[in-house]
Amino acid sequence: MRSPKTVLAVAVCAASVGIGAAGVASASLRSHDVVGNPTQASCLKIVKSETKVRGRLTVATDNPVYPPWFEHNSPSNGKGYESAVTYAVASLLGFPHNKVAWSYEPFSSSYAPGPKRFDFDVNEVSWTPQRAKVVTFSIGYYNVTQSVVTIKGNAIVAKHTPSELRTYQYGDQKGTTGLAYIFKYIKPTKQPLVFPTLDIAVQRLQVKGYDALIVDTPDGQYMATQQLKNGVQLGQFPTTGEHYSLLFQRGNKLVGCVDAAISHLHKDGQLAALQKKWLGIYNHIPTIKP
Instruction: Determine the 3-state secondary structure of 286 from DSSP.
Output: coil
pTM, whole model, 2 decimals? 0.71
What is the per-residue pLDDT across 137-147, written as a single tens digit (0 to 9) for each? 999 999 989 99
- For the chain, the structural domain boundaries read 4-142+243-284, 146-236
* Backbone angle region of 21, left / alpha / beta, with phi > 0 → left and psi within -120 to 50 → alpha: alpha
Residue-wise pLDDT tens digits, 55-84: 999 999 999 998 889 999 999 999 999 999
CA distance 275 to 283: 11
- Whole-Å CA distances, 226 to 49, 56, 70, 194, 232: 42, 35, 14, 22, 11
**CATH number for region 146-236:** 3.40.190.10
Using CA atoms, how far apart are residues 181 and 217, in angstroms rounded to an integer? 13
d(CA 158, CA 165): 11
- Domain 4-142+243-284 is found in CATH 3.40.190.10: yes
| Mean pLDDT score of the chain | 87
284 pLDDT tier (thresholds 50, 70, 90): confident
Contact 255, 261 (CB under 8 A): no
Per-residue model confidence as pLDDT tens digits over 20-38? 322 333 323 333 333 344 4
Does residue 14 contact residue 92 with C-beta atoms inside 8 Å?
A: no
- Mean pLDDT score, 41-66: 90
pLDDT confidence tier of residue 224, bands split at 50, 70 and 90:
very high
Please give the Cα distance from 89 to 96 (Å, whole number): 10
Report the SS3 class of residue 122.
coil
d(CA 182, CA 149): 13
CA-based end-to-end distance of the chain: 55
Render 210-264 in DSSP notation, one character per residue. Answer: SSEEEEEHHHHHHIIIIISTTEEEEEEPPP-S-EEEEEEETT-THHHHHHHHHHH
Which residue(s) pair with 195 in the sheet? 173
